[in-house]
Structure 1
């Protein structure tokens, strides 16, 4: 299921969403993330609003953990508003009884926009007006709008004291204790840029050290899913992973294949784009589009994706700052003599640089792998199968013109997630254990959420 931008026939008259446009790029234009991957007949109210926030992630340059946080509240609010009218699934958040006869589509859009306005600090005036204008005037529409706003505000209030605001500052504030051995993370630098602007500043402060202490949506306590400790730096396991990333992940590697280099760039999802959690939300829309989902099934699927991507970010950032593990670039270039590892493969190389930019926060565990397997496992749970043939192009090609017209293919969702995680090793920014532990956590988060949340009413 691949639809290229060149061959996509834009359709402005899609049933149910005609005239839906605002400050955000409309479906069918080059700025819409859905244009190359979604057939017009499958475009609906849910995908419309998801496209809006995906574009906001890109346009506001929202970092990955915050992007994941921002996906949850709007998708959950929209689903709960519509579901309380249709009464299809269980509601663990006690939203209350919807007014009789309210329009569920109107309620969804208003609740979604109300929550999105909070997390993005963006009123979405044009988007709200054009959405409302696309639905005929009626009492059901008025009831749906009022109910949607009530639900949206309730969800915003519910998350007001969830720890998300203090998490946005790049200071430790004693929320996590630093480790004091050779594995302690320190900023990597001086860093390099990638056009059209700098990827990261040199010696940046750590990104969002408090994000791991945000209240999860589905995990309960984040400690329930926390990864086991990292390798001892003097162990043979560490020596093997040190050698692996040194050989495969260097900027000038002769061992990394052309395909592995392409994988590293394809999944980089850095600044100026959709970010990893947004990318897997987009993949979910592509995969689910022809599965005969009803409106409320679409709403539920995106809410489950939003919650688990948010929880994946909380888990990964908790693990990163709890374990406080150094990145390969700093280890290989500077820290090697302090590891006490006698394996001859653990050698210092002052000239070594990672193939893709090294992020400004600790390594263990991998956010990419957590986001990827949480997303892949949730899609598989919704479909009832992991076996899916999918072809996909990079949604953001601003930084990497090498990806233009590049299409990658997979035969399973887990295979796609595995490739996404390995991209960080090929890129030289993660240890193998970062990936392996994160894959386990991502799948566990998704499986738990699917089993416990929004079950069909009996």
Structure 2
């Protein structure tokens, strides 16, 4: 069965999707992430549900690695439920064939919401009711709902013991061995606040030290994507990167240009917004909207983006805690004399501060760079080209009101990914090697996933 765009829009009552509400901001409202970047005629069931979970990431203040995890399960479940009925692509998860005559759009929404309810611990009652009301009653709807719930629960069960169980206290629990040299990561000093309004500064335990041991969606063994060691701190390469971030990333830098400062804030994507993995899902929706994708193509695209963003988070966090590398802030303010580096540029500056807040987990590699490279490469695979011109404004401006009205432009998806990663150098929170190696890993994850997962049936 070929499920055309016209059939999809008619059977799903697509014209009514601008009015879906529940606890989520409606498309067209200021709360919807899609309002600034998507034309109403392009809005559809898949983008609607993606908007729901992107808003949940913002509203629940979900940190980036967990946000990436939360994007994967619902998008994968929705696609697998619809694909079980349409049989358009291979199914590597053994979901099976859906019931004949079932509505794939209904199956998608129910499976998506079932999985989303699990990862966000939010029932989405209003969203479910509004969605169901947009689809005409009948046997197809009933069959689709039953199949969607079956698939959603199967995906939830499949991921129940995947190592993602959240812990309220971020302890190492011997999952990774600490390094014992001058490069060892230590909590960043109580110098920064990244919250609107008053906040108490404090040392923070490392964020999610077990996240790197979650079962991947597409990578197989995470160790296969683990990167080479960081620089020797006594090497010329380290000295050059130390000096680079010290000069460009300082809060009071005179070398960082106005454009570089804007880039640092534009891509900051902290936990008070969409986060880096959510940002790349938003970019995917923006650049895919005019490509005349069918319903199942949209579902597949978002599932691949969600799964690879999750795997990027697993790979990055596994690498971070395997290598346990210090952040520039601690190195420059405190640790420089212990590196035994003969280069005179490697010297201590006790008053140095990074331009943007330094995150509370090891530096190597950059999660931003890994997320960005994986997202850009996967979108490029879906489109068949990296040559995509697009522009948009920062999706969240709570922390950085100076970004209001600022629009950035790119001619290639990879240009946006590189800018995203470089933002962390300009912000003073990463070493250049963190960025370069993270980009390599993210691209490799996307290339592998696209080659191995959800291939079209002949």
Q: How many residues align?
A: 446
Alignment of 1:245-260 (within 5 A): 245-260=245-260
1:405-452 deviation per Cα after TM superposition (whole angstroms, max 9, x unaligned): 000000000000000000000000000000000000000000000000
Alignment of 1:96-111 (within 5 A): 96-111=96-111
Point out where structure 2 has 5 or more consecutive residues left out of the alignment.
1-12
SS of residue matched to 2:365: coil
Q: In the alignment, does 2:331 pair up with 1:324?
A: no
2:446 maps to which residue? 446
SS of residue matched to 1:392: strand
Q: In the alignment, does 2:160 pair up with 1:160?
A: yes
Alignment of 1:149-228 (within 5 A): 149-166=149-166, 169-197=169-197, 201-228=201-228
Instruction: Find the aligned partners of 1:456 and 1:51 in 2 and give their Cα distance.
Output: 26
SS of residue matched to 1:416: helix
Instruction: Find the aligned partners of 2:401 and 2:18 in 1 and give their Cα distance.
Output: 33
SS of residue matched to 2:410: strand
Instruction: Find the aligned partners of 1:199 and 1:453 in 2 and give their Cα distance.
Output: 44
1:4 maps to which residue? none
1:373 maps to which residue? 373
SS of residue matched to 1:72: helix
How much has 1:193 moved relative to structure 2? Answer: 1.7
How much has 1:200 moved relative to structure 2? Answer: 8.5
2:309 maps to which residue? 309
**Contact 1:245–1:428 (CA<8 Å) still a contact in 2?**
yes
Instruction: Find the aligned partners of 2:236 and 2:124 in 1 and give their Cα distance.
Output: 54
1:135-191 deviation per Cα after TM superposition (whole angstroms, max 9, x unaligned): 111110000000000000000000001000056641100000000000000011122
SS of residue matched to 1:93: coil
1:279-322 deviation per Cα after TM superposition (whole angstroms, max 9, x unaligned): 00000000000001000000000000000000000000000000
Mark the CA change 1:229 to 1:219 in structure 2 (over 3 Å): closer, same or farther.
same
SS of residue matched to 2:227: coil
1:342-382 deviation per Cα after TM superposition (whole angstroms, max 9, x unaligned): 10110110000000000000000000000000000000000
How much has 1:15 moved relative to structure 2? Answer: 2.0
1:411 maps to which residue? 411
Bigger drift between 184-193 and 119-128 goes to: 184-193
1:46-94 deviation per Cα after TM superposition (whole angstroms, max 9, x unaligned): 0000000000000000000000000000000000000010110000001
**Contact 1:191–1:200 (CA<8 Å) still a contact in 2?**
no
SS of residue matched to 2:385: coil
Instruction: Find the aligned partners of 2:74 and 2:290 in 1 and give their Cα distance.
Output: 24
How much has 1:20 moved relative to structure 2? Answer: 1.9
**Contact 2:389–2:412 (CA<8 Å) still a contact in 1?**
yes
Point out where structure 1 has 5 or more consecutive residues left out of the alignment.
1-12
Instruction: Find the aligned partners of 1:419 and 1:177 in 2 and give their Cα distance.
Output: 33
Bigger drift between 15-24 and 321-330 goes to: 15-24
**Contact 1:19–1:134 (CA<8 Å) still a contact in 2?**
no
Instruction: Find the aligned partners of 1:361 and 1:149 in 2 and give their Cα distance.
Output: 37
Mark the CA change 1:119 to 1:326 in structure 2 (over 3 Å): closer, same or farther.
same
Mark the CA change 1:220 to 1:186 in structure 2 (over 3 Å): closer, same or farther.
same
2:5 maps to which residue? none
Mark the CA change 1:301 to 1:156 in structure 2 (over 3 Å): closer, same or farther.
same
Mark the CA change 1:50 to 1:287 in structure 2 (over 3 Å): closer, same or farther.
same
1:455 maps to which residue? 455
How much has 1:97 moved relative to structure 2? Answer: 1.8
1:9 maps to which residue? none
**Contact 1:192–1:199 (CA<8 Å) still a contact in 2?**
no
